[in-house]
A and B are shown apart, each in its own frame.
Chain A
């Protein structure tokens, strides 16, 4: 077996990880990735996971719900165990104090030392990075921007969750759990990889240009030289009073090569709109309209779903807002069923990372 996906809903953390270890059939795994509900003590999860798989790189984060082949779970731990047939090399490094500082360059130096050569000299097509970020840090944009500056290797991932308590999230590596930190993991898959971005939105021809922004605080004060909420309401053909009702279904899209990179409005403050990610001044954004999450996911993953034997495993970084939408529309089972024949784990995230920080999206990292 190349990759094994496991989960446990045992509520005591030691018992939960012992349950997972007992179910594992891969001897001497190269790497163990796990996503853990925040009901479990993250320090204990990290420690027990490293002790259960001492020869492997073990890493993961806390979640707002877990996914495993065919199921969407709560209060569980899901695990993907990678054999050495799939992963040739893996290196992990924390980035510390991310809310206040930008320590990505320093973390890259440490990672380069572990690899034995500068990351910028590695063949970008042979390596892929995973990035897990404290979901309460609001530091995702600067982390992703710095990664993109320093490397041509693709880094994908997500912001950790805490079961929608919005207090503390953790990232974990080789026995340690940290908050106010990000985790970079550099991988050399033996048989290659693919990255798929999926979002259930249609791009309309209605545009909003941010003309006054407070970028650091993810706030737009004005679109099209009008108070932000007024311009957003107008674009949706509604009133200012009702505009917030359109937030989940009608986010904005930064459109790159015909693909929307979703920017989700979070709340109104005065006449400004606070988003779940930074918005750049002067860059045109398109109003988005909703599509069906289940069918768009099936369409985007079609070639893999038709030939599940062509892939070894899949990681699904799925936005919590998508999970809430699936729950509201009673589509949780249908969504889970998409992956029933694929070794997949994932989690409900507080934001997704691909080229930048994005919202209401699923990022899939697929191992061939």
Chain B
């Protein structure tokens, strides 16, 4: 499987930013500060379980409950 990380990051960015474009860049910056570069992942990136676990933590910290991790 591939592309899950890209999809999860996009969901996190959109939901944390409440769909507000101006906040998307800030949210991506916050994710980088937490140790993941969103730009490193696209639709073909391998589904690394360690990165997905880290994204679960980030979604929890951002208090986002409705992210599809699968």
Chain A interface residue bracket vs B? 20 to 34
- The reply to whether the CB of A168 lies closer than 8 angstroms to some CB of chain B is no
- The reply to whether the CB of B42 lies closer than 8 angstroms to some CB of chain A is no
- Chain B residue numbers with a CB within 8 Å of A282 are 35
- The reply to whether the CB of B44 lies closer than 8 angstroms to some CB of chain A is no
- The reply to whether the CB of A280 lies closer than 8 angstroms to some CB of chain B is yes
Interface secondary structure of A, over-half rule = loop
CA distance A149 to B31 in the complex (A): 10
Chain B's closest residue to A124 (CB) is B23
CA distance A280 to B58 in the complex (A): 14
CA distance A356 to B36 in the complex (A): 14
- Write out, one digit per residue, whether chain B residues 14-57 have a CB within 8 A of any chain A CB (1) or not (0): 00111010110110111011111100000000000000000000
Chain B's closest residue to A120 (CB) is B63
- The reply to whether the CB of A148 lies closer than 8 angstroms to some CB of chain B is yes
Task: Check if A152 sits within 8 Å of B26, measured CB to CB.
Answer: yes
Task: Check if A356 sits within 8 Å of B22, measured CB to CB.
Answer: no
Which of these, A124, A149, A261, A284, contacts B37 with CB under 8 Å? A284
- Write out, one digit per residue, whether chain B residues 56-69 have a CB within 8 A of any chain A CB (1) or not (0): 00000111000000
- The reply to whether the CB of A1 lies closer than 8 angstroms to some CB of chain B is no
Task: Check if A257 sits within 8 Å of B30, measured CB to CB.
Answer: no
Chain B's closest residue to A283 (CB) is B35
**Given A145-B34, A148-B33, A149-B61, do A257 and B26 touch, yes or no (CB 8 Å)?**
no
Which of these, A125, A145, A281, contacts B33 with CB under 8 Å? A145
- Chain B interfacial residues counted at CB < 8 A: 20
Task: Check if B17 sits within 8 Å of A152, measured CB to CB.
Answer: yes
Which of these, B23, B29, B35, B62, contacts A257 with CB under 8 Å? B29
Task: Check if A355 sits within 8 Å of B29, measured CB to CB.
Answer: yes
Task: Check if B35 sits within 8 Å of A356, measured CB to CB.
Answer: no
A-B contact pairs, 19 of them (CB 8 A): A145-B33, A148-B30, A148-B33, A149-B61, A149-B63, A152-B17, A152-B18, A152-B20, A152-B26, A254-B32, A256-B28, A256-B32, A283-B35, A283-B36, A284-B37, A355-B26, A355-B29, A355-B30, A356-B33
Apart from A145-B33, A257-B29, 15 more pairs, CB < 8 Å: A124-B20, A124-B23, A145-B61, A148-B30, A148-B33, A149-B61, A149-B63, A152-B26, A154-B26, A254-B33, A256-B29, A280-B35, A282-B35, A355-B26, A355-B33
Please report B residues at the A interface, Cβ cutoff 8 Å.
Answer: 16-18, 20, 22-23, 25-26, 28-30, 32-37, 61-63
